[in-house]
Structure 1
Amino acid sequence: MNTDSALLVATGVRKIYRTGSVEVTALRDLDLRVRRGELVGVMGPSGSGKTTLLNCLSGLDDIDGGRVEVDGHDLFAMSDAARTEHRAHTMGFVFQAFNLIPVFSAVENVELPLLLVGTRPRSARRRALDMLDRVGLGHRVEHRPSELSGGEQQRVTIARALAGRPAIVWADEPTGNLDSSMAGQVMDLLCELNEAEGQTIVLVTHDSAVGARVPRLIRMRDGLLVDDIRQDAVGRVALPTAP
């Protein structure tokens, strides 16, 4: 993979959790590149470092060593305020717990992050309505989360993540709270957004059915990347396994 085409470049990333005198290394000098337009799945057993990887590569968590560049910017060379602003303008997030504001309608939930970064209200409303229509919820824009199914709520979170036109979307167990039918629909949507619009997505999952659908699948164990599988091409790139 060529650096020029890489949206995300992580080099030697290390993350250590400390509790008193106890240290747990969650990420071990990890290297990863993600091209623009890739849909990448990350799988591994509980405690392997999947969510820590997502949090560190997005700048939600600090790192203890290494370097992370997203869209040409070194995240950890920035101040906290600059990193927060960069994240707001270039990244979208989809979580297992939908994190919707219960008293807001679907369209209000989608437009809120746009308003927070200074988008004019009329433009924010237009973009929110457009995104809800694109995820198949144009007829549910005034409904509150409690009036929507789990799959519909997750579609609202996807619309919210995409409304700011992010360079990259991070999805942490986006189907984890859904039954298999709804999970399949959400994956259909994510795959469509990736294939039709070239949206870059990094998706953490424990579900092998979800992992089977991504063009590139990374497996983790003990804070290391142990496998990098191109499922849309012949061949497989084997990375060094954990000792």
Structure 2
Amino acid sequence: MDSRTQDGHRPLLAATGVRKVYRTGSVEVTALRDLDLTVQPGELVGVMGPSGSGKTTLLNCLSGLDDIDAGRVEVDGRDLFAMSDAARTEHRAHAMGFVFQAFNLIPVFSAAENVELPLLLTGTPPREARARATAMLERVGLGHRVGHRPSELSGGEQQRVTIARALVARPAVVWADEPTGNLDSAMADQVMDLLTTLNRDEGQTIVLVTHDEAIGRRLPRLVRMRDGRLVSDTRPRPPAGGTPRAELVG
């Protein structure tokens, strides 16, 4: 199966017929129902839907954190579920970055040490890892906080550290699951400003789950979920003279 589009370009993400079922004893709950989604390089895509609609499950399956029961997921040209667990973990380390609602920073590490950790785990020499971590912290506005531990940072600063950590390995895609969920509105705006700037200025591909309608309205593309399906795909920022497009996709 070739996931190239009609113009010959391969999407960064191509998910086809993805199905995920959770089983507890004799009880089965279908979390994703034959779901299709493509994301092109450089897109910023929001995923919204009511609680229990499958948003986080979708991110976990698209990134290979969770197994799937049917379908196919390609990220950066690789079929995730045709790989061994070890190969999928390695692919994730090199091609993906993660930002979660919980910051998941190591409390005894400084900001720089938290950011450089993914590089060290993939074999980057320590001096290069530290230089890249410091540069990325400067990029997210924390060049003056490189030596501070998480307890010495505000919530917004901690989330910017996690964004720096997600970006430091130059991933093909960043998955962000409720990245503003633990922040007040002012800090949430700062984090979203940073993510949209990174997408606009550097072409960073980002897939972002949110429950916040105000954030959804800021995004150049928004897909909505219900009962494990994608029910709409909207691009609310058309070119000049255009009109918003809403397309039923599943």
TM-score range, shorter chain: over 0.9
The aligned amino acid for 1:235 is P
1:32-63 Cα shifts (integer Å, max 9, x gaps): 00000000000000000000000000000000
Q: 1:101-180, aligned counterparts within 5 Å? A: 101-180=106-185
1:106-137 Cα shifts (integer Å, max 9, x gaps): 00000011000000101100000000000000
After TM superposition, give the deviation of residue 5 of structure 1 in Å.
4.1
CA distance in 2, matches of 1:133, 1:61: 33
Runs in 1 of length 4+ with deviation above 2 angstroms? Answer: none
**1:93 paired to 2:98:** yes
CA distance in 2, matches of 1:121, 1:88: 17
TM-score normalised to the size of structure 2?
A: 0.95
> For 1:212, what is the secondary structure of its paired residue?
helix
The aligned amino acid for 1:239 is L
Q: 2:81 aligns with which of 52, 64, 76?
A: 76
After TM superposition, give the deviation of residue 232 of structure 1 in Å.
1.7
CA distance in 1, matches of 2:10, 2:203: 13
Tell me the equivalent position of 2:24: 19
The aligned amino acid for 1:105 is S
After TM superposition, give the deviation of residue 95 of structure 1 in Å.
0.3
1:79-108 Cα shifts (integer Å, max 9, x gaps): 000000000000000000000000000000
Q: How many residues align?
A: 241
CA distance in 2, matches of 1:193, 1:40: 13
Q: 1:7 aligns with which of 8, 12, 25?
A: 12
Tell me the equivalent position of 1:226: 231
Contact 2:54 2:225 in 1 (8 A): yes
Could you say what the CA RMSD is over the residues aligned between the two structures, in angstroms? Answer: 1.0
- Fraction of identical pairs, as percent: 80
**1:32 paired to 2:41:** no
Unaligned runs of 5+ in 2: none
After TM superposition, give the deviation of residue 240 of structure 1 in Å.
5.3
> For 1:4, what is the secondary structure of its paired residue?
coil
